[in-house]
Amino acid sequence: MIKLIRRASAEARAFLETHDDDVLESAAAGKLKPPRGVNRKRSAADEVEADDEPRAHKRAAAEEKPGRKPRFAPVTFSEEGGVRYLHFGTEWVQGAMRLRHPWRLELEYAQQMMAWLLFLDAPARIAQLGLGSAALTKFCYRHFDQSHIEAVELNPAVVIAAHSMFALPHDDARLHVTECDAWDFVSDAANHAALGVMQVDLYDATARGPVLDSVAFYRACRECLTDPGMLSVNLFGDHPSFEKNLKNLRVAFEGRVIALPEVHLGNRIVLAFKGPPLGFTAEQLALRAQHIEAAYELPAGDWLVKLGEITGTADFSI
């Protein structure tokens, strides 16, 4: 039995400075409830239509008035076998951290999100859209000391939980957490052609598919990438949202997309490429995989096997 700990405490604290006295009293009493229709890793869970700006963002400003209850599902936690898990008020796992090794990537899908290392060296700037338990943000911050790491998270309670429950360091010269909508971040011209790598993991409480998944969104992500640059996206292989996202990614990235095989939890990581054509021999990829395993303790050899299963060859070009 997984033990649930400190239910919704992070959410109550998150709104301590941003809502009026009536809402603060409700939060302290544990009365904050998720709104109707909330869905997995950001709020604003309206359906995203292909190539249209998400309707959720058009209504978001009206919902941000002081005195309103937060639009977020409660941030909750559980622990089992020395691993702490993040939830958004449901049984769905939104992130994990092994308490004795807080800097490691515990979940297989999170490890596979780093598969861009097979093709690119760590760039000057890396962005994580959807903070979750901060596993990927912490990992990049710890290992890539020449990179600036930025995480984008809409829910302030998730940011508080990352700091208080999942050992995320506070901002410094190389680390910055931005509390904003991922759509606004990728639409900001200041971020265009500025990011070598983007890692996208945008789900809400029900974990049924990304809350941002349109062609417009993925095109905006592409605009944010440098040449060369890569996007890694967490999807669910056994859900209808997978085919929709894969189709939209292929349109946005002009077909330069690779979907890795499903991991044991059902996640599928998709890699998308921008910039000049990339080509690696089997020997070059094997050497990169060996370096990744030695330097970062990631199963890069397994990634190569899965990549070969998809492409039918040990060489790679895209």
pLDDT at res. 140: 98
Nearest-Å Rg of the Cα atoms of the chain is 19
**Tell me: the pLDDT tens digits for 202-239?**
987 777 678 899 999 999 999 999 999 999 999 988 88
Kindly report which listed range (31-35, 239-243, 265-269) carries the lowest average pLDDT score.
Answer: 31-35
Percentage of residues of the chain with pLDDT beyond 90: 69
For residue 63, the model assigns a pLDDT of 40
Lowest mean pLDDT among 104-113, 180-189, 204-213: 204-213
Q: Is 169 left (phi over 0), alpha (psi -120 to 50) or beta?
A: beta
d(CA 145, CA 264): 31
Dihedrals phi, psi of 66, to nearest 5 degrees: -60, 145
Residues with Cβ within 8 Å of 221's Cβ and at least 6 positions away in sequence, in order, are 186, 198, 200, 231, 252, 272
* pLDDT (tens digit per residue) in 60-86: 443 444 445 557 889 999 999 999 999
pLDDT mean over 282-290: 97
Band (265; pLDDT cuts 50, 70, 90): confident
- Tell me the domains of the chain and their CATH numbers: 3-96 (no CATH), 108-317 (3.40.50.150)
Say which residue, 96 or 1, is predicted with more confidence.
96
Question: What is the model's pLDDT at position 69?
Answer: 52
* pLDDT tens, residue by residue, 26-40: 333 333 333 222 233
Are the beta carbons of 154 and 42 closer than 8 angstroms?
yes
Q: Above 70 in pLDDT, residue 293? A: yes
Taking the C-alpha atoms of residue 161 and residue 45, their distance in angstroms, rounded to an integer, is 21
Structure tokens at 307: 């990549």
Give the amino acid at 144.
F
Looking at the predicted structure, is the pLDDT value of residue 113 above 80? yes
pLDDT of 42 above 70: no
Is the Cα torsion angle 21, 22, 27, 33 positive or negative in sign? negative
| Each residue's pLDDT tens digit, 5-28 | 443 344 444 444 333 333 333 333
What's the pTM value of the predicted model, to 2 decimals?
0.80
